[in-house]
């Protein structure tokens, strides 16, 4: 039996965004899931979309959110023409300020697991926000890939997701982490900051847990529940995102990049990068050569 998890459907850049139409794209897209977040905005026509066994008829001007690990599928609506814009990204790169706000991974998982999840949104659901302009901007940014494009797109999604949290809150959905105290919530956020700042170092996860007054086993369970992946996987994710940025926006060689991002050596970096992206760092850089060439800083002295 075919696995629902698509090992080939992985992120190969900080943001993946593309448009599909009935003229060039074959339907249906069978049920599958992945670890990243996906947002689909229907520009023209109509589609039938399912997420965790709930079917959503989509009309032009609406968008649907597929949380990490949610099983979803797409189908044409009686062979009617369609055009949609799709954005894929890692939700853990968005960190909302405010101690009362939930971790987005936790919030999205909770909504997706509900009997009638509220994942489809129309223009009427978000007054004051022009959805067409919003997704057109993201499409342009993702294609131009100018300096800081990924940070800009994530900032746009931060605003959108705050609106969604507000909508869900008004619907009576509670995102309190009942089993996590306020101090532990703060500790988990501090841990992400620590990992980001020290990702080039050899981080011992057991020592990291003790640093924040947790046993290793409790820390491991808490991290997985909170962020949808193990701490080891998250550290690798952060390191590889920093590798991406150096490949995209500098001409530093792989030995230097490996040292700067916490890999044992160049070979370790290449193996890890290829395992996740199915291409080598050199191939990744070549595919984005126009971005690299137009964004190079001064070389290392």
Identify which has the larger pLDDT, 265 or 289. 265
Residues 281/254, Cβ–Cβ less than 8 Å:
yes
pLDDT digits (tens, 9 = 90+) for 156-171: 999 999 999 999 999 9
pLDDT tier at 247, thresholds 50, 70, 90: confident
DSSP tag of 33? B
pLDDT digits (tens, 9 = 90+) for 194-212: 888 899 999 999 999 999 9
Mean pLDDT: which of 122-126, 218-222, 276-280 is highest?
122-126
Q: What is the residue-averaged pLDDT of the chain? A: 84
From the list 153, 165, 222, the residue with the least C-alpha distance to 189 is: 222
DSSP alpha helices (H): ranges in the chain? Answer: 104-112, 131-144, 149-170, 182-198, 205-211, 216-227, 231-249, 254-261, 266-277, 281-287, 289-294
pLDDT tier at 3, thresholds 50, 70, 90: very low
Question: What does DSSP say about strands 29-32 and 72-76: parallel, antiparallel, or unpaired?
Answer: antiparallel
Q: C-alpha angle with apex 67: 166 to 127, nearest 5 degrees?
A: 35
pLDDT at residue 181, rounded to an integer: 65
The answer to whether residue 290 scores a pLDDT higher than 70 is no
Residues written for the chain? 301
**How much of the chain exceeds pLDDT 70, in percent?**
87
Residue found by looking up tokens 């189908």 in the block? 75
Cis peptide before 28 (omega within 30 of 0): yes
pLDDT at residue 19, rounded to an integer: 92
DSSP tag of 115? S
pLDDT tier at 182, thresholds 50, 70, 90: low
Least confidently predicted of 6-15, 36-45, 144-153, 159-168: 6-15
Burial class (CB in 10 A: 0-12, 13-18, 19+), 8: exposed
pLDDT at residue 95, rounded to an integer: 80
Q: How far is CA 154 from its chain centroid?
A: 9
Mean pLDDT: which of 50-59, 72-81, 251-260, 292-301 is highest?
251-260
pLDDT at residue 4, rounded to an integer: 38
Q: Domains of the chain, with CATH numbers? A: 16-170 (2.60.120.10), 182-294 (1.10.10.60)
The answer to whether residue 297 scores a pLDDT higher than 50 is no
Least confidently predicted of 196-200, 240-244, 256-260, 286-290: 286-290
């Amino acid at each position: 039996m075919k696995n629902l998890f698509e090992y080939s459907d992985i992120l190969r850049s900080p943001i993946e965004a593309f448009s599909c139409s009935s003229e060039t794209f074959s339907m249906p897209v069978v049920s599958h899931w992945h670890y990243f977040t996906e947002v689909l905005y229907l520009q023209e026509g109509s589609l039938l979309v399912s997420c965790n066994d709930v079917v959503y008829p989509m009309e032009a001007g609406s968008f649907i959110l597929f949380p990490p690990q949610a099983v979803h599928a797409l189908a044409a609506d009686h062979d009617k023409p369609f055009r949609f814009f799709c954005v894929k990204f890692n939700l853990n790169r968005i960190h909302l300020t405010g101690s009362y706000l939930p971790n987005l991974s936790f919030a999205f998982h909770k909504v997706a697991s509900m009997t009638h999840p509220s994942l489809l949104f129309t223009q009427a659901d978000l007054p004051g926000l022009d959805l067409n302009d919003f997704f057109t901007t993201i499409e342009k940014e993702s294609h131009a890939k100018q300096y800081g494009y990924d940070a800009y797109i994530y900032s746009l999604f931060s605003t959108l997701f705050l609106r969604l949290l507000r909508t869900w809150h008004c619907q009576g959905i509670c995102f309190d982490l009942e089993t996590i105290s306020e101090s532990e919530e703060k500790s988990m956020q501090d841990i992400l900051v620590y990992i980001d700042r020290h990702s080039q170092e050899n981080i011992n996860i057991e020592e990291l847990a003790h640093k924040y007054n947790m046993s290793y086993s409790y820390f491991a369970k808490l991290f997985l529940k909170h962020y949808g992946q193990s701490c080891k996987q998250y550290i690798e994710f952060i390191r590889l995102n920093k590798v991406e940025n150096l490949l995209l926006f500098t001409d530093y060689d792989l030995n230097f990049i490996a040292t700067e991002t916490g890999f044992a050596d160049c070979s370790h970096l290449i193996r890890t990068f290829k395992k996740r992206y199915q291409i080598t760092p050199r191939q990744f850089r070549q595919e984005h050569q126009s971005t690299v060439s137009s964004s190079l800083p001064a070389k290392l002295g």
